[in-house]
């Protein structure tokens, strides 16, 4: 069982891994924030009732932020994070108006904010996530490559979760993901880390509000994983900055939280901007990444377009010129390029 340190030890572990303390870590870890969603809110006769529906990850490699100043509201570090949203096949079509005790929808699988969702068969979820957690250490493996007796090395992972007990039960029981087998170094439970005497079990929404983050689409597994990571980083920097000013050193506070003001939303927006840049834009109509609003076919992704087009090509071969009507229809929906592609691959047309 990986180590789950108590509050002070966990705070130190995180601060040290981020090189905020005087001591240096033996090895720069990768933070993997994880959140699981399940169909506990669905009616009893629903096919997904009490089943695991989503697993979200937010990943930050401490090597990527080493030597980089955190920037205002930790923006420079958050833009180095990446999120993955694994959605069990079939769960993208759930309809539910169930809400949590703050009135926020409990079903937000279609509102992943930091990338595009990956749809996976439920049985394959555990393996998909385990793969993300077992990261070969390329730097080290390069060095030991000559010595064939040595087995490949993997990166040290600190798993981050808001309430680890619930998450671990789901991961083990529902998808067979055993963190012992994956080789996790430690688990940072953010409920413990953010606990204060006046609030021993702080919820994620409350922490987000305290740190100035907009609570837009909670209960999407990957959004919650990102929010958990953002709050973890902001909290670590804030504690460090406070400790600094108590000793008369305002440098970190002035740099990260000017006027002692936390605006966590800036960090979350910085990550969205980085993903937008990397994926070639974000559509304002469907909010997916990788295309702009021009000619947006909401709910039609590239794979679906591809298979739709190849079905048409197949029909063309079998049925001859009757494809023209379909191509015209496609032209309206997809723009001219699809039709050009169909024409170039079509057999020569006979005279009508």
- Tell me which residues touch Zn ion (CB under 5 A): 283, 285-286, 296
Rounded-to-integer distance, Cα 297 and Cα 310, Å: 18
DSSP string of 193-239, one letter each residue: HH-BTTBSS--HHHHHHHTT----STT-HHHHHHHHHHHHHHHHHHH
DSSP string of 93-143, one letter each residue: G-----B-TTS-BS--TT---SS--EEE-GGGHHHHHHHHH--B-HHHHHH
Task: Indicate the SS3 state at residue 170.
Answer: helix
Task: Indicate the SS3 state at residue 144.
Answer: helix
Q: Residue 291 Cβ, how far from Zn ion at the closest point, in Å?
A: 6
Q: Residue 293 Cβ, how far from Zn ion at the closest point, in Å?
A: 6
Nearer to Zn ion, 199 or 293 (CB): 293
Q: Residue 116 Cβ, how far from Zn ion at the closest point, in Å?
A: 11
Rounded-to-integer distance, Cα 198 and Cα 188, Å: 21
Q: Residue 300 Cβ, how far from Zn ion at the closest point, in Å?
A: 9
Q: What is the separation of C-alpha 236 from the centre of its chain, rounded to a whole number of angstroms?
A: 20
Q: Residue 115 Cβ, how far from Zn ion at the closest point, in Å?
A: 14
Nearer to Zn ion, 125 or 275 (CB): 275
- CA-nearest of 221, 257, 254 to 236 is 257
Nearest-CB residue for Zn ion = 283
At 305, phi and psi to the nearest 5? -60, -45
Nearer to Zn ion, 298 or 350 (CB): 298
Nearer to Zn ion, 79 or 288 (CB): 288
Rounded-to-integer distance, Cα 122 and Cα 87, Å: 8
Q: Residue 303 Cβ, how far from Zn ion at the closest point, in Å?
A: 15
Q: Residue 285 Cβ, how far from Zn ion at the closest point, in Å?
A: 5
Nearer to Zn ion, 266 or 308 (CB): 308
- CA-nearest of 260, 261, 264, 282 to 273 is 282
Nearer to Zn ion, 173 or 277 (CB): 277
Whether the CB-CB separation of 262 and 73 falls below 8 Å is answered with yes
Nearer to Zn ion, 140 or 296 (CB): 296
């Amino acid at each position: 069982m990986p180590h789950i340190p108590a509050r002070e030890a966990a705070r130190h572990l995180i601060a040290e891994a981020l090189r905020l303390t005087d001591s240096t870590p033996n090895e720069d870890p990768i933070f993997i924030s994880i959140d699981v969603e399940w169909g506990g809110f669905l009616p009893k006769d629903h096919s997904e009732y009490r089943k695991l529906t989503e697993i979200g990850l937010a990943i930050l490699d401490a090597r990527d932020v080493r030597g980089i100043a955190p920037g205002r509201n930790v923006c420079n570090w958050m833009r180095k994070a990446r999120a993955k949203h694994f959605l069990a096949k079939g769960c993208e079509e759930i309809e539910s108006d169930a809400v949590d005790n703050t009135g926020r929808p409990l079903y937000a699988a279609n509102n992943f904010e930091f990338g595009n969702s990956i749809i996976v068969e439920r049985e394959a979820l555990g393996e998909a996530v385990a793969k993300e957690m077992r990261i070969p250490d390329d730097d080290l493996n390069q060095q030991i490559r000559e010595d064939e007796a040595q087995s490949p090395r993997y990166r040290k992972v600190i798993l981050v979760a808001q309430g680890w007990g619930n998450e671990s039960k789901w991961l083990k029981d529902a998808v067979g993901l055993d963190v012992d087998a994956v080789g996790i170094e430690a688990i940072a439970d953010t409920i413990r880390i953010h606990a204060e005497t006046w609030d021993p079990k702080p919820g994620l929404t409350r922490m987000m509000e305290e740190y100035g983050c907009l609570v837009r689409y909670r209960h999407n597994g990957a959004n919650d994983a990102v929010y958990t990571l953002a709050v973890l980083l902001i909290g670590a920097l804030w504690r460090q900055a406070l400790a600094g000013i108590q000793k008369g050193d305002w440098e970190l506070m002035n740099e990260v939280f000017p006027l002692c003001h936390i605006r966590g939303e800036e960090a979350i927006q910085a990550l969205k901007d980085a993903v937008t840049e990397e994926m070639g834009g974000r559509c304002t109509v469907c909010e997916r990444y990788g295309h702009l609003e021009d000619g947006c076919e909401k709910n039609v992704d590239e794979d679906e377009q591809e298979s739709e087009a190849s079905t048409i090509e197949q029909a063309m071969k079998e049925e001859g010129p009757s494809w023209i009507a379909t191509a015209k229809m496609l032209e309206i929906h997809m723009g001219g390029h699809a039709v050009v592609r169909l024409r170039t691959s079509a057999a020569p047309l006979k005279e009508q």
